[in-house]
Amino acid sequence: MSGPKDAAGLRVAIVMASAGRAELLGQALDDLLKQSYPVAAHVVSVPDEDSLPRDVDPTWQVVSGSRGLTAQRNAGLDALHDIDVVFFFDDDAVVHNDYISAAVDYFTDNPQCLAITGTVLADGVITGEIDRDPALELVRRWRPSPNGPTSRPSRTLFGANFAIRIGKVPDLRFDERLVLYSWLEDHDVARRLGAVGDLAKISDAVIVHRGASSGGRTNHLRLGYSQIMNPVYLHRKGSFPVWLTAWEIFRPTAKNVVYAFYGPQRSWRRVRLAGNARAVGDACRGRITPERIVQF
């Protein structure tokens, strides 16, 4: 899919991947058509027709059939042609209308940069799910700093909002062994890109991540398994060093252990802990199988 050349010379695309959240997706697709920077290609990747909202604006090219975040994002990438920068957003991200413009400015001024992630004004995964209207209000009220935009080097990309200069890494794809919710797929891509170029977090590309409770995170057994198995797999394939593997295992597992006994999260934290234990058992037997969660 392609479109007209923009004035700055960078042709950009948006790839949206979603499953089973048609209402959320519809809101996100409508909002993203309001970006101030001209977008050459809009692609939405879903596993089936039930995942699409009823009336999708014809600006969006629909690709369907693949299931799982990495597979769906790859299907979106495969649908693009002659694109310099591709943007990825979660379906529960509320994105400022100048996000793409700010990112393009940064890429233009920093040609060595291969990927950026923006600034999250609020994250419902941390604070509790944020309704749409308050999220929109937070984004509307945001103002850039009078001192101008800032940036800092980054070793990670936040999966809810990031952009890759795909024209410089045209063969880059997401790892489809990280199935379904694809835990840590964004970290894996960041590690691979960081080995050959720069990554940055920029201040003036902003979103609110609503942290909608539906979706892959609600299957706690699967997610618990992925919290252990995916970093082990990423270490085995050479993407994660030992220290990062240990941290990505320790951080969620420690929370599961603590909150399995204290607080209102006890019931589902125990299910995640069971998933953690199942992954430990598989890893100890030499079974490095992130895709096994489709059997649960």
Instruction: For residue 3, tell me if it sits in a domain.
Output: no
Identity of the residue numbered 111 = P
Residues 78 and 186 in one domain: yes
The residue among 150, 179, 209 that closes a domain is 209
pLDDT in tens, 1-10: 444 444 458 9
Task: Provide the pLDDT for residue 215.
Answer: 55
The residue among 175, 209, 243 that closes a domain is 209
Q: Is 175 helix (H, G, I), strand (E, B) or coil?
A: coil
Instruction: For residue 173, tell me if it sits in a domain.
Output: yes
Indicate the pTM of the whole model: 0.92
Residues 179 and 290 in one domain: no
Q: How confident is the model at residue 33 (pLDDT cuts 50, 70, 90)?
A: very high
Q: How far apart are CA 251 and CA 241, in angstroms?
A: 16
Task: Provide the pLDDT for residue 165.
Answer: 99
Residue 127: give the domain boundaries. Answer: 12-209
Cα of 229 vs its chain's centroid, Å: 19
Q: How far apart are CA 96 and CA 225, in angstroms?
A: 34
* Residue (of 75, 58, 57, 100) closest to 16 by Cα position: 75
Residues 163 and 236 in one domain: no
Residues 72 and 149 in one domain: yes
Instruction: For residue 81, tell me if it sits in a domain.
Output: yes
Instruction: For residue 214, tell me if it sits in a domain.
Output: no
Residues 183 and 277 in one domain: no
pLDDT, mean of residues 257-264: 91
Residues 60 and 197 in one domain: yes
Residues 233 and 169 in one domain: no
Residues of the chain with pLDDT > 90: what percent?
A: 91
Task: Provide the pLDDT for residue 15.
Answer: 99
- Helix 185-194 and helix 69-78, axial crossing angle in degrees, nearest 10: 50
Instruction: For residue 87, tell me if it sits in a domain.
Output: yes
Task: Provide the pLDDT for residue 9.
Answer: 82
Residues 204 and 97 in one domain: yes
Q: For residues 164 and 86, is the Cβ–Cβ distance under 8 A?
A: yes
Q: How confident is the model at residue 217 (pLDDT cuts 50, 70, 90)?
A: low
Kindly report the CATH number assigned to the domain that includes residue 149.
Answer: 3.90.550.10
The residue among 209, 236, 257 that closes a domain is 209
pLDDT, mean of residues 126-153: 95
pLDDT, mean of residues 230-243: 97
Residues 145 and 55 in one domain: yes
Residues 108 and 226 in one domain: no
Q: For residues 35 and 4, is the Cβ–Cβ distance under 8 A?
A: no
Query: To the nearest whole number, what is the mean pLDDT of the chain?
Result: 94
Residues 154 and 270 in one domain: no
Residues 234 and 203 in one domain: no
How many residues are present in the chain?
296
**Number of domains observed in the structure of the chain:** 2
End-to-end CA distance of the chain: 37
Q: How far apart are CA 63 and CA 237, in angstroms?
A: 29
